[in-house]
Amino acid sequence: MSNCQTCCQLTLAILKPHITKVPHVFQSVRNCIIDNGFQVVKSTRTTISKHQAAEFYAEHEGRFFYNRLLTFMCSGPSEVYILAREDAIKKWRELMGPTKVYQAVYSAPGTIRAEYGLTDTRNATHGSDSVKSAFREMSVFFPNFNHEEWFQEEEPYFRAGKVGFDKSQFVHYTVKSSQPVA
């Protein structure tokens, strides 16, 4: 089933190191992604380098939490995804819940951060806040991903629901037939 019936939007999602270390929590968050109609365009498990973290969080440089955030994000493997669905940025941010875990617990119970966030730094997940941010963030972790090419060549298949899902790679792929996709 596809939630890209009108037009897919892309967003970047990160499952932070403390999530990937606990198998049942990790699987629960993955299930949440799929159960909420997201399609996974790209998927990678990586230990984020200091260089990547500094590039990714450049807007926070100089803030009191910057070094703590970089140290945590580089502390172990994270899962990084490009997710697609209609209104993906808004929907992923709603599913994650507020950035501040304390706020998430009381104002958005049942969200990923309310359930699995530990602190404001270890808040379980990251999600892009705008289309511009999403494309910049995607380029940090998927430098060879061309979003313009994806929208031209792949998005019509995702929108039409002509995708399969590889559970072992946690990624959707297009199912192309001889019939063109409108």
- Residues of the binding site for ATP: 16, 65, 93, 99, 113, 123
5 within 8 A of 159, measured Cβ to Cβ: yes
Residue 6 structure tokens? 């009108």
What does the longest C-alpha to C-alpha distance in the chain come to?
Answer: 56
Taking alpha carbons only, the member of 157, 177, 173 closest to residue 165 is 173
With contact defined as beta carbons under 8 Å apart, do 97 and 111 qualify? yes
Residue 137 and residue 41: Cα distance in Å, rounded? 15
Binding residues: 16, 65, 93, 99, 113, 123
What is the C-alpha end-to-end distance of the chain, expressed in Å? 17
CA dist 155 → 2, 15, 45, 166 (Å): 11, 24, 24, 18
Annotation marks residue 126 as catalytic:
yes
Task: Select which of 51, 126, 147, 172 is catalytic.
Answer: 126
> Which residues participate in catalysis according to the annotation?
126
